[in-house]
Amino acid sequence: MDSILLNTLKGQHTPRPPVWFMRQAGRVLPAYNALKASYSFRDLMADADLAARVTLMPVDDLGVDAAILFSDILVIPNAMGMELKWTDKGPVFPTPLSVYDQPVEHLQADPDKLNYIYRVIDRILETRPANIPLIGFCGAPLTTMCYMLQGVSSNGNFPDAMKFLFSRPREAQRLIDAIADFSVHYALKQIEHGVEVFQLFETHAGLIPTEMYEQMFMPAVRKIGAAVRSKGIPFIFFPKGFGTGFKLVTPEVCDFVSVDWQISLSDARDLVHPEVGLQGNLDPRVLYGSQDLIAAALEKYKPFFRQNPKWILNLGHGFLPDIPYENACFVVDWVKQAQW
């Protein structure tokens, strides 16, 4: 496949950086919001034709250089045996694992619960444009564990999960290991069905001290990454809020690391091992501004790209729901037309 994203991930020089967005499948797209009027999020995820259609919408409507599977990180806890309810206020686990002394004993994993996702991947590959790679993903161990222990995401500090982690580290480690093992299975099945890139989302990396993350969670990240890369698939790690923890990101961890807007790309480049490529880190809130303001923010990336061609332009997190669609289109058009 002649893909600017895959070429960049392989270390090849390209005339411009590739561009795609986290949370690009949905939210800001008028076509997606029209579908949401007739189907719930769960319905869209579960139907292979609909999920494939949503996955490929940003390619058609925004012109991005890659598609990312339309799914959710909470499918893993659900397949591991937790009841998951989709409510108007978001997903909820009615019985969070923090209520148990030994939470791992209450999990009854059923890998077959994920089979519908592989049907979605099959359908995407049947209908996508020839030069558009498909990115697979799952949630990283800390972030996944937080939802499993807390039950809901309404409190972003996850107090029950943090209390469990600090007061019962032995049981927390057993849960981390179980999540990592199941994530390896899930990632390998996505690859078996044809994804060409895999991203691990550690949305809440900044919740705990860097030293604690290194000791308790980084082995699990390396385990998932090693499984993905053993199949020849590029592995992107996204540890949001990692700060100085970026110094832990070496070629043993990932091929590329995604950078949030809380640290500059140049500072991240100084911290991250030089062999690891970077992705990011446009603040999605910039897209609320005028197109002149957006262009000025993008212009600042040109000197970085000239010195660091192993870079993928992306957001520092995901699209916010009310970002103007026209501004999302503007970013992609600007990237493709600029003189890099």
Judge contact between 149 and 158, C-beta under 8 A. Answer: yes
What is the per-residue pLDDT for 86? 83
Q: What is the CA radius of gyration of the chain?
A: 19
CATH number at residue 317: 3.20.20.210
What is the per-residue pLDDT for 153? 67
What is the per-residue pLDDT for 123? 98
Judge contact between 146 and 75, C-beta under 8 A. Answer: no
The angle at the Cα of 205, spanning 199 to 208, to the nearest 5 degrees, equals 160
E-assigned strand segments in the chain: 67-68, 85-87, 90-92, 134-139, 197-202, 235-239, 256-259, 277-282, 311-315
Judge contact between 202 and 142, C-beta under 8 A. Answer: yes
Task: Note down the domain range covering 256.
Answer: 4-337
What CA–CA distances, in Å, run from 161 to 96, 140, 152, 196, 203?
9, 15, 11, 33, 15
Rounded CA-CA distance 64/196 in Å is 16
3-state secondary structure 26-50: CCCCHHHHHHHCCCCHHHHHHCHHH
pLDDT in tens for each of the 340 residues of the chain? 899 999 999 999 999 999 999 999 988 999 999 999 999 999 999 999 999 999 999 999 999 999 999 999 999 999 999 999 887 777 889 999 999 989 999 999 999 999 999 999 999 999 999 999 999 999 999 999 999 999 986 667 899 999 999 999 999 999 999 999 999 999 999 999 999 999 999 999 999 999 999 999 999 999 999 999 999 999 999 999 999 999 999 999 999 999 999 999 999 999 999 999 999 999 999 999 999 999 999 999 999 999 999 999 999 999 998 999 999 999 999 999 999 9
Number of domains in the chain: 1
3-state secondary structure 274-321: CCCEEEEEECHHHHHCCHHHHHHHHHCHHHHHHHCCCEEEEECCECCC
* Residues sharing a CB contact under 8 Å with residue 137, sequence separation 6 or more, in sequence order: 68, 69, 71, 73, 198, 199, 200, 201
Judge contact between 120 and 53, C-beta under 8 A. Answer: no
